[in-house]
Structure 1
Amino acid sequence: MASISIPIPLRERAKSGVLGWLATVDHKKIGIMYMVMSFAFFIAAGLMALLIRLQLAAPNLQVVDPNTYNQLFTMHGSVMIFLFTIPMLVGGFGNYFVPLMIGARDVAFPRLNAFSFWITLGAGLVMLIGFLFGARSDAAWTAYVPYSTKSFSPTVGMDIWLMGVILLGIGSTLGAVNFLVTVYSMRAPGMTAWRIPMFVWAMATTAGMVLLATPVLTAALLMLVADRNFNTQFFTTNRVQLWQHMFWFYSHPAVYIMILPAMGIISEVIPVFSRKPLFGLRAVVISTVLIGLLGFTTWVHHMFVSGVDPAIERFFMFTTMVIAVPTGVKVFNWLATLWGGSLNFKTPLLMCLGFLATFVIGGISGVMQGAIPIDQYVHNSYFVVAHFHYVLFGGSVFGIFAALYYWGPKITGRMFDEKLGKLHFWLMMIGFNVTFFPMHFLGLQGMPRRIATYDPGRGWELGNLIATIGAFLLAFSVLIFIINAIKLRHGEPAGNDPWEGNTLEWSTASPPPEYNFREIPTVESDRPLFDERMRMPQL
């Protein structure tokens, strides 16, 4: 890794204190604000989940009334997807590390970046404040019509939810434009396509998906707002399938919008802690792009019981099976990277292994549901709840914690407590599986999702009790992480490169200065920091 001298552009002197954070256009500070915001929403959604699990721990409980229960699971899903997973992965880690990993001093449009954050925060607060003050949506995060129409959901809470998601879509779209322009035009000299880090490839693919999918969801939301408030008839005259098509055209790609950045994180962490290059780098890059493209060809598998033409159903069953192929390529390449490596079982690698184990289980159950006969049997049952939590929590959230432990020293300049990190991992791994694995059996036994209570004698009591115990263990594991994060103030100094990483973010200080790099690096391979270490003995 060589470097070239580029003058540092003069900027207005950075403001200090709270005002410095409120007025910042520094991509790193904006990334940190995304992370803090997203984690706060994660805690809120987790508390909602605990109330849901308490209500279902035994038959005929009255922890909350049925209407409140509907509002809780609506906001739980909405917050976890729109306000935690996507903002944390894309807005948080994407903003902080994409410029650092490509050798840039900032994103292409810093002020647009700040605007994206503030509109996202504003939308989240609108949704949450409406929930806290009684203006609550109760039509689930899918907002299926007719449940979300004025006839079935007459309160202003549904309108607040719709406007909040519209604003979130605007913020996501602006952020996606920023990422694509940044990656295309601001890479360090020598960083050709095959030298771009895998996390950056994942972020660029994700940004492309956001640009293609979000306008369709925004149009659907605006049409529903018009139906509710201006007496239009977009969805209210036997057009419920139209909403489902428009919603899932966004929301199934949204699964990959949530999982591709996590996959990029896994592709960065595993080689570092295996002391090997990523096996089949080009295959992993191609599989990333293929997932992004094929993600737009599978949305109808959410609608196999909604009366879609059988020939169309068979086509989408086929595409659902096909998209498992590039995902499988990634899994086998990660395993091949681990195989024969000098494994360093620190917390980031443990989180990656947790990702692999749980995501594969979710992928297997997903392929099962991609088969029309199986889907017709388990549709809207707890089997589906188990599946998407194994994919999204088992995938995205394990990936998020892998990134926090891996990049946390770079962000803060301090090391996490390794013992607490491993305790967090094992409690989360056990708690997660105790919570969600029994739901497969509950679904096969016929327990429908989204019910507020159930009668005794159906065989669901034990599974629900076990799941509730697991949920509290899972919550306790997050508390361990919070304690570990608080202890960071007194953690050991991290140095510039505590893990002996491969990519450019490890070549600068921890935390990085405002301008990122004193000199813009020149890249000569896909592992520039490894090259630098190999040259050092010869100097």
Structure 2
Amino acid sequence: MKQHFSPIALHHALDKDWRSPKGWRGISAVNHTTVGLRFIVAALVFFLIGGVLAMLLRAQLATSGNAFLDSDAYNQVFTMHGTVMMFLFAIPMLEGFSFYLLPKMLGARDLAYPRLGAYAWWCYLAGGLILVTAMALGLAPDSGWFMYTPLSGPTYRPGINSDIWLIGVTFAEISAICGAVELIATILKLRAPGMGLNRMPIFAWYILVTAGMILVGFPPLILGSILLEIERAFGLPFFDVTRGGDPLLWQHLFWLFGHPEVYIIFLPAAGMVSTMIPVFAQRPLAGYVWVVASVAAVGFLSFGLWVHHMFTVGIPQLAVLFFSAASMLVTVPTAVQFFAWIATLWSGQTRFRLPMLYLAGFLVVFVTGGLTGVMLALVPFNWQAHDTHFVVAHLHYVLTGGMVFPLLAAACYWMPHITGRMPAGKTGITAFWLIFVGFNLTFLPMHLTGLLGMPRRIYTYPSDAGWDTLNLLSSLGAFIQAMGFLVFLLDMFLHTRAGRAAPRNPWNAGTLEWATPTPPPSYNFASLPDVQGRDPLWDNPALGAELAGGRHWLAIPAPGQRQTLSVDVLTGNPRSVVQLPGPSWLPFYAAIATGVFFVCILFKIYEVAIVGALAALLVFLRWAWQNGARDDPASIEAVAQIMLPAHFAASGAPGWWGMACSLAANAALFGSLLFGYLFLWTMAPNWPPPAWIDIPPAWGALAACLPVAATIAVRAACSANQSGRRQACSFWLLAGALASIVAILAVCMVVGRLPPATSHAYVATTFVLLCYAGLHMAIAGILAVHVALRCRAGYVSRVRSLEPAVLRLWCDYTAIAAVVVIAALYGLPRVFP
């Protein structure tokens, strides 16, 4: 029989289980609201640091022959400015907003993996602190935020500066990938009942595509950073021309990340625009389906544009033609979104409140940046403007117009939700005009200095170049813009201290986050909403009161548990009740162990680095051991007379999707590694090498076949578990682990037959490919033993079969990767002799 709770009693019962610890114990917090706000605050601090660095750059370039900064200091400042803005502000700020908003928009109580989100936060903070501390000590990277080789290689940058960039950025990008896995699984599985894909808020579609782009776009840069660090630390010649490497490989890997990065930054901001414009027009978004299709098209096309940045490096003309056409083609789906926004405003009754003012500024600035982007897509013009201030101006118009203006609008729009207070009017308007005028005064003249031939990345210029007046205007505009941001921050401070109390849903929005009180409780919703349309609050204005009164799903508190719903990916029909973990110190410990590994790699203390890696592995195993239950769970009453199983006893659980997303990122890194191997073999100088590597056929065959045997054994274990034969399941899992161990020995035997890896890029890439396969075999063996022990301890049963299914995914991937690696090492020398 359903127990009745008053709204106040329901609030106290849920808050007891969901609230984050206070004081220093807050380090263990995993609640998405807390973690999201931490991302936002930290990203704001890094933005202020990046802004100060920008002011230093503009002070140096204000006049010709300026001696304010010398060349070394200028190189460090402009490298750190780009690095901070791209890696420590843009993506973390947008992920922070996504962490905070998405569960509330989707009608969930938290993200799919709260501890993973907390781990992502600590990794981001650690990576940022590494970079900022290095700058404070005068050891900041100084080869540009793009780190082009050979300038960033050991020959020209023998110090620690470049290593700091490689380690710090890789650490931060691990955070971004963890966040992407978290967001994809949450959007696909943790939605309100009835919220099918066709009813999702438009912001969720933008974040879903963006997170998928992160999974595919970030691994190439991570791989490039790993290879460059290996070259710098151990001398393996991936980018050294004299030993078969090629510096253009770095450019390809970097821009495989770098150009999708532009859209990774733009799309979440555009999602905010698509969310806010219907609210201020008071009508649904025009062309919802077309906008969704255009967002997916932008995500797909963005990966075909990376050579857009390499037109002047001497690539074949046919490739230039293809990438030029692709660069112009991507404007089509972007234009679809733009016209959808205009149509929504045109057909509605637009209210020009403060957030709408920033949105209008975004529309003006972004269109200007888009037009210059089309110009740069034309090869003849690109050749003339390449590496000039015209490109700098275009970049800032697109990124600032595409991200910062929507972000400022979003801050004004959602701050009442966070603080429960409305923003001030006049101060916000003053901030807008200072930012808008200062921005255009800063970057519009840069188009002209670029057309007059001013190169980027120069710290001084002669007085007779004719650039003084334009540069002085740019510097003046930069300081006006900085004043605008300071006024904006003052407005936000006054907002939190003296703003009038915000009513629930002050903008009359239709999305679910405004169904919560403002500020929201720790659990978001006292009961989870039943969604019947794309704008739930417009469909049912009383929905917030109904949820607070416990009239919808999961209105009965489960003491000591954090529960939310998992739904069918397509239809949104409820499938299971997800039991989420509470506050935990494990993400913090895992981040510390990971940080020890990276810092010791930075200072070349490799023995301690290995200890850090092992400590991280043990923490993650302990993390995994805490999941699940030893007994088959009883069904849970999700709503009156509807019983649902616990998530670990249901098919298609969020954990399966998390492994699938992780393997997608892994496959992107593997694909980038194979691309590098093929690129060096077919395009690099000093190839083919003097002789093929003689890999013993027997050991090579074992290295390929044994991982296949391991995955067959794991599949047999899954079948045995489904038949209720627990002992047989454990036996087959241990057999799979044994096959993985023997496969590692086979890989070691192959590696032992290689010439010195420092002798030629052919040997170095072969070595890395074998290490990749061997590492995955080792992880497969460890996971197989772990699941076997879990099986013996009673955590695995015919009903609770999630862990063997997740292991099977990993082993299947490992087998495929091993076969591909051995096939490439044996076959490529025969295809391209």
TM tier, shorter chain?
over 0.9
Aligned equivalents of 1:193, 1:6: Cα separation in 2: 30
Partner of 1:262: 269
Aligned equivalents of 2:368, 2:22: Cα separation in 1: 46
Q: Does 1:26 align with 2:34?
A: no
Equivalent residues of 2:18, 2:522 under 8 A apart = no
Aligned pairs for 1:452-531 (under 5 A) are 452-487=459-494, 488-531=496-539
Amino acid aligned to 1:66:
S
Aligned equivalents of 1:450, 1:432: Cα separation in 2: 20
Q: Does 1:345 align with 2:352?
A: yes
Amino acid aligned to 1:114:
A
Aligned equivalents of 1:403, 1:269: Cα separation in 2: 8
Q: Does 1:302 align with 2:309?
A: yes
Amino acid aligned to 2:506:
P
Aligned pairs for 1:64-83 (under 5 A) are 64-83=69-88
Equivalent residues of 2:15, 2:521 under 8 A apart = no
Amino acid aligned to 1:486:
F
CA deviations on 1:435-479 (whole Å, 9 max, x unpaired) are 000100010000000100000121101110000000000000011
Shift of 1:16: 4.5
Aligned equivalents of 1:293, 1:8: Cα separation in 2: 45
Moved more, 13-22 or 23-32: 13-22
Aligned equivalents of 1:146, 1:43: Cα separation in 2: 31
Partner of 2:198: 194
- Secondary structure at 2:529 match in 1: strand
Aligned equivalents of 2:126, 2:442: Cα separation in 1: 32
Amino acid aligned to 1:262:
A
CA deviations on 1:185-231 (whole Å, 9 max, x unpaired) are 11101111121111111111111001111111111100000111100
Q: Does 1:46 align with 2:46?
A: no
- CA change 1:415–1:21 in 2 (3 A) is farther
Shift of 1:69: 0.3
Aligned pairs for 1:356-371 (under 5 A) are 356-371=363-378
Shift of 1:18: 3.1
Unaligned runs of 5+ in 2: 1-9, 545-833
- Secondary structure at 1:339 match in 2: helix
Aligned equivalents of 1:515, 1:535: Cα separation in 2: 17
CA deviations on 1:119-169 (whole Å, 9 max, x unpaired) are 001100001101110212111110000111011112211101100111111
Q: Does 1:58 align with 2:63?
A: yes
- CA change 1:286–1:7 in 2 (3 A) is farther
Equivalent residues of 2:324, 2:378 under 8 A apart = yes
Amino acid aligned to 1:386:
A
Q: Does 1:405 align with 2:412?
A: yes
Amino acid aligned to 2:89:
F
Equivalent residues of 2:177, 2:215 under 8 A apart = yes
Aligned equivalents of 1:150, 1:11: Cα separation in 2: 55
Shift of 1:383: 0.3
- CA change 1:508–1:308 in 2 (3 A) is same
Partner of 2:225: 221
- Secondary structure at 2:464 match in 1: coil
RMSD: 1.7
Partner of 1:183: 187
Q: Percent identity?
A: 43
Partner of 1:290: 297
- Secondary structure at 2:65 match in 1: coil
Equivalent residues of 2:32, 2:99 under 8 A apart = yes
Equivalent residue in structure 1 for 2:120, among 78, 96, 116? 116
Moved more, 336-345 or 422-431: 336-345
Q: How many residues align?
A: 531
Amino acid aligned to 2:129:
L
- CA change 1:8–1:203 in 2 (3 A) is farther
Partner of 1:429: 436
Shift of 1:419: 1.1
TM-score normalised by structure 1 residue count: 0.96
Amino acid aligned to 2:86:
I
Amino acid aligned to 2:465:
R
Aligned equivalents of 2:156, 2:339: Cα separation in 1: 47
Amino acid aligned to 1:132:
A
CA deviations on 1:295-351 (whole Å, 9 max, x unpaired) are 101110100001111101100011111111000101111011111421111111111
Q: Does 1:104 align with 2:112?
A: no
Equivalent residues of 1:8, 1:515 under 8 A apart = no
Partner of 2:170: 166
Aligned equivalents of 2:26, 2:260: Cα separation in 1: 33
Shift of 1:17: 3.5
- CA change 1:503–1:22 in 2 (3 A) is same
- Secondary structure at 1:533 match in 2: coil
Equivalent residue in structure 1 for 2:158, among 142, 154, 158? 154
Shift of 1:19: 2.4
Partner of 1:279: 286
Aligned equivalents of 1:179, 1:436: Cα separation in 2: 34
**1 or 2 for the larger relative contact order (CA 8 Å, sep ≥6)?**
1
Aligned equivalents of 1:223, 1:185: Cα separation in 2: 36
Partner of 1:449: 456
Aligned equivalents of 1:429, 1:534: Cα separation in 2: 39
Aligned equivalents of 2:29, 2:499: Cα separation in 1: 27
| Higher gyration radius (CA) | 2
Equivalent residues of 2:18, 2:31 under 8 A apart = no
Aligned equivalents of 1:265, 1:535: Cα separation in 2: 23
Shift of 1:9: 7.0
- CA change 1:274–1:14 in 2 (3 A) is closer
Equivalent residues of 1:382, 1:442 under 8 A apart = yes
Amino acid aligned to 2:537:
L
Unaligned runs of 5+ in 1: none
Shift of 1:63: 0.8
Shift of 1:10: 8.7
Aligned equivalents of 2:18, 2:267: Cα separation in 1: 37
Equivalent residues of 2:18, 2:523 under 8 A apart = no
Partner of 2:805: none
Aligned equivalents of 2:185, 2:163: Cα separation in 1: 34
Partner of 2:322: 315
Partner of 1:35: 40
Aligned equivalents of 1:17, 1:474: Cα separation in 2: 38
- Secondary structure at 1:521 match in 2: coil
Aligned equivalents of 1:14, 1:519: Cα separation in 2: 16
Shift of 1:12: 4.9
Aligned equivalents of 1:132, 1:277: Cα separation in 2: 49
Amino acid aligned to 2:139:
A
Equivalent residues of 2:102, 2:204 under 8 A apart = yes
Amino acid aligned to 2:178:
L
Shift of 1:23: 2.0
Aligned equivalents of 1:402, 1:413: Cα separation in 2: 17
